[in-house]
């Protein structure tokens, strides 16, 4: 695909550190083990994404099938591969799909970078990952790698302007500080755009974009046997977020509103309007440090180390009822996440046919949070269906739910690859994992007003607000997993493979106070993956990958509301275990150079992801039944079909320049966005078309681009507003047009 983030073209024109040093870059730690890495992986450069002013997480499916990402709000990021994965709506849930940045595992999906800038490559792995980096996973992984400092001096500046007052500015500076020994790299960006939605009640635009980031690096070649890389990062988001469009109102909510003489507006998410009587504000700050070290102990033995630290701070307060009544006019959360990890790898060769790798991993995470929900003057009348209750039953009451959690992860792994013959290779891996989590959570009620001496009012208040809660929990998991892969290469162009592997994701502690059928802790996931396929690459710009797969997970961790927690205000976003789920299908990804210097990339996938045994599932709220059997039903957040295609053509110009043009297309079929499959919780299929034309010269670049050229209305995620059957949605970006200019200074 054509590159739209024009600044990143600088790195393509400079000789790589791979070719100019005697030792390869420290990134070997991130990629290891290359012999065992699951072959159902899509690896591509970020330059390949057709993404407008900058690449985002949602652009990754433009080059990888069977990948689904949802981000109704950064804290709630959801990542699914082959229909398997989790969202972050519950603070106690980690991802079934692992995420790593420069070899450092990101303990929360919400740590996924806001923008993918100055990256070397992205790998999307679709099977359980045991080889790291980071802990074992049950469904796959996404690995991001930034561009390392290189042995040259140069700077590039990029400016983008576009629709809705979009502005994106970026700079990349690279410097060889000591010839052949020390190099530095600095990359920074700032991104702004007006709000895409209008709050009709407060007469203001909301859901704007305002974020920035900076990454500084040093690459130190100490000697011919030792190399180190140091990375510091900072990012900040400060936005009027998050206001969600109403997608569906339940009959209960309609009746309550009518009883108050305040009929609800007809849900029209694509009008991009909301009706909220409170404002919203989100601030997210992330700081990170990474140290990579590689030591050649002998010609056949290498020791690699990677150390990582992350701190993620989050604060978001907004209108929780999402309508212009003072029911729950304000609420949100403050969070603070810290993590530190250390990984060691010893790799070498016993003899020509045998290669091995031994690894040890340690991760410690701590997380503190405080969630608030404040009720307003209309709350009592709303929940009682318009009964003449005094407002002070709920008005002014605030439910506070502080909590904290710590987690320790240990891992040991061993890998062995045996080249039985030039054409046939057997590779195996075994991993031991130990996880322990400790957490406490509580609930207290503040701001209660004095009630008239009527016992029924006090009973109603307790039913609505609940009672103070204090709980502590401790959970421990151990698992031994492994994988075996057989590869046959009859020649240098074709490779056939068969892989069997097990995977694991630790259990945890529910991030909400639970009651009834939902337990405060949940079990670990255990997965089994079987797949076979072929890779065909007759030339560098021609490739074909075909895979058939069958994946199962026992005790799959699913997100749901708690239907028996309260008859009026059901608790939401609880984690339960599904006895067994299954995902099976086929994938094809290919690229070829057609006559006329026309590059065509395409991919298509069929994925049948179903609940195999889910007899304790929550029912659709409108059914009036608490528990249903969803066994055999399609899983939530699991589109049946995904596809992408891209065309790129270039024409050479005088003095080393070129004119280029490109189109990219992406398709995703419809699916349910929540476990309980309530009315209004489904997303329709959608197709997106992007395009760009530009002129590229050695010192500058000019590009005109457009996203969602057909201006299709579509939803990116759906979520329950409350457990009574109301649903909100995040609307996808409208058609956006813009221009990008890049200037390079040698």
Question: 332 CB contacts (<8 Å, ≥6 apart)?
Answer: 315, 316, 317, 318, 320, 371, 372
Q: Under a CB-based contact definition with an 8 Å cutoff, are residues 562 and 723 in contact?
A: yes
HEC string for 653-712: CHHHCEEEEEEEEEEECCEECCCCCCCCCEECCEEEEEEEEEEECCCEEEEEEEECCCCC
pLDDT of residue 104: 96
| CB of 29 closer than 8 Å to CB of 305 | yes
pLDDT of residue 703: 94
According to DSSP, the β-strands at 542-562 and 571-594 are antiparallel
* CA pair distance 736, 54, nearest whole angstrom: 13
CATH numbers and ranges of domains, the chain: 6-745 (2.40.170.20)
Q: How many CB atoms lie within 10 A of CB 400?
A: 15
Rounded to 5°, the CA angle 483-484-489 comes to: 140
Q: Which residues in the chain land under pLDDT 50?
A: 1-37
pLDDT at 23: 27
Give the C-alpha separation, 194 to 596, whole Å. Answer: 41
pLDDT at site 556 = 95
Distance, in Å, from the CA atom of 86 to the CA atom of 81, rounded to the nearest integer, reads 10
Query: Taking a C-beta distance cutoff of 8 angstroms, is the pair 248, 680 a contact?
Result: yes
Residue 382 belongs to what H/E stretch?
helix 379-383
Up-side HSE of residue 718: CA atoms within 13 Å toward CB? 26
3-class DSSP assignment, residue 336: strand
pLDDT of residue 569: 63
Residue 585 pLDDT: 97
> The whole model's pTM is what?
0.91
Strand order in the sheet with 727-731: 245-248, 727-731, 715-720
SS (H, E, C) 3-40: CCCHHHHHHHCCCCHHHHCCCCCCCHHHHCCCCCCCCC
- Residues with Cβ within 8 Å of 364's Cβ and at least 6 positions away in sequence, in order, are 339, 340, 341, 406, 407, 408, 409
Say how far apart CA 480 and CA 130 lie, in whole Å. Answer: 10
């Amino acid at each position: 695909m054509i590159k739209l983030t024009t600044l990143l073209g600088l790195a393509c024109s400079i000789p790589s550190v791979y070719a100019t040093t005697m030792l390869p870059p420290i990134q070997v730690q991130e990629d290891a083990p290359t012999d065992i890495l699951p072959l159902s992986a899509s690896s591509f450069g970020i330059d390949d994404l057709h993404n407008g002013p900058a690449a985002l997480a949602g652009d990754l499916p433009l080059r990888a099938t069977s990948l689904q990402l949802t981000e109704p709000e950064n804290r709630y990021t959801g990542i699914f591969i082959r229909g398997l994965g989790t969202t972050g709506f519950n603070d106690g849930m980690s991802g079934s799909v692992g995420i790593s940045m420069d070899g450092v595992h990101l303990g929360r999906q919400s740590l996924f970078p806001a923008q993918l800038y100055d990256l070397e490559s992205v790998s999307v792995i679709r099977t359980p990952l045991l080889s790291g980096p980071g802990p074992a996973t049950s469904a796959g992984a996404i690995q991001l790698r930034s561009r390392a400092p290189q042995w040259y001096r140069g700077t590039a500046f990029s400016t983008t302007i576009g629709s809705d007052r979009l502005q994106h500015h970026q700079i990349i500076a690279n410097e060889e500080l000591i010839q052949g020994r020390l190099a530095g790299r600095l990359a920074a960006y700032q991104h702004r755009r007006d709000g895409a939605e209008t709050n009709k009640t407060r007469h203001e635009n909301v859901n704007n974009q305002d974020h920035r980031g900076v990454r500084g690096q040093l690459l130190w070649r100490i000697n011919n046997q030792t190399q180190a890389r140091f990375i510091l990062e900072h990012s900040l988001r400060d936005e009027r977020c998050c206001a969600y469009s109403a997608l569906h109102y339940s009959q209960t909510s309609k009746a309550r509103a009518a009883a108050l003489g305040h009929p609800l507006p007809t849900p029209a998410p694509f009008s991009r309007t909301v009706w909220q009587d409170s404002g919203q504000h989100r601030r997210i700050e992330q700081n990170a440090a990474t140290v990579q070290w590689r030591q050649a102990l002998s010609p056949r033995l290498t020791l690699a180390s990677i150390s990582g630290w992350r701190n993620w701070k989050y604060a978001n307060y907004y209108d929780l009822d999402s309508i212009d009544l003072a029911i729950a006019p304000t609420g949100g959360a403050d969070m603070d996440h810290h993590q530190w990890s250390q990984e060691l790898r010893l790799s070498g060769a016993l003899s020509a046919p045998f290669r091995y790798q031994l690894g040890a991993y340690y991760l410690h995470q701590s997380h503190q949070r405080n969630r608030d929900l404040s009720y307003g003057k209309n709350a009592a009348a709303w929940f009682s269906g318009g009964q003449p209750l005094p407002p002070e039953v709920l008005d002014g009451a605030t439910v506070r739910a502080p909590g904290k959690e710590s987690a320790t992860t240990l891992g040991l792994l061993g890998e062995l690859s045996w080249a039985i013959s030039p054409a046939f290779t057997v590779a195996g891996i075994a991993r031991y994992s130990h996880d322990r989590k400790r957490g406490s959570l509580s609930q207290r009620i503040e701001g209660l007003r004095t009630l008239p001496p009527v016992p029924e009012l006090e009973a109603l208040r307790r039913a609505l607000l609940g009672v103070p809660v204090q709980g502590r929990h401790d959970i421990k998991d151990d698992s031994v997993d492994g994988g075996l892969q057989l590869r046959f290469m009859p020649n240098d162009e074709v490779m056939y493979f068969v892989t069997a592997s097990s995977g694991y994701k630790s259990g945890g502690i529910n991030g909400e106070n639970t009651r009834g059928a939902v337990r405060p802790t949940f079990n670990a996931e255990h997965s089994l993956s079987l797949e076979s396929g072929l890779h065909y690459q007759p030339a560098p710009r021609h490739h074909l990958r075909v895979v058939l797969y069958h994946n199962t997970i026992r005790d799959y961790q699913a997100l749901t509301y708690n239907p028996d927690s309260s008859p009026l205000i059901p608790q939401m976003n609880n984690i339960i275990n599904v006895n067994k789920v299954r995902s099976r299908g086929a994938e094809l990804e290919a690229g070829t150079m057609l006559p006329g210097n026309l590059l065509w990339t395409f991919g298509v996938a069929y994925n049948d992801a179903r609940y195999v045994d889910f007899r304790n599932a929550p029912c659709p709220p409108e059914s009036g039944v608490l528990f249903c059997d969803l066994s055999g039903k399609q899983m939530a957040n699991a589109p049946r079909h995904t596809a992408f295609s891209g065309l790129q053509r270039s024409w050479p110009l005088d003095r080393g320049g070129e004119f280029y043009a490109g189109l990219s297309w992406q398709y995703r079929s419809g699916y349910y966005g929540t476990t309980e499959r309530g009315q209004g919780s489904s997303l329709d299929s959608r197709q997106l078309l992007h395009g760009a034309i530009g002129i590229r010269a050695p010192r500058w670049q000019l590009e005109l681009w457009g996203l969602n050229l057909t201006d299709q209305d579509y939803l990116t995620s759906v979520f329950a507003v409350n457990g009574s059957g109301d649903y909100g949605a995040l609307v996808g970006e409208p058609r956006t047009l813009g221009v990008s200019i890049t200037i390079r200074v040698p």
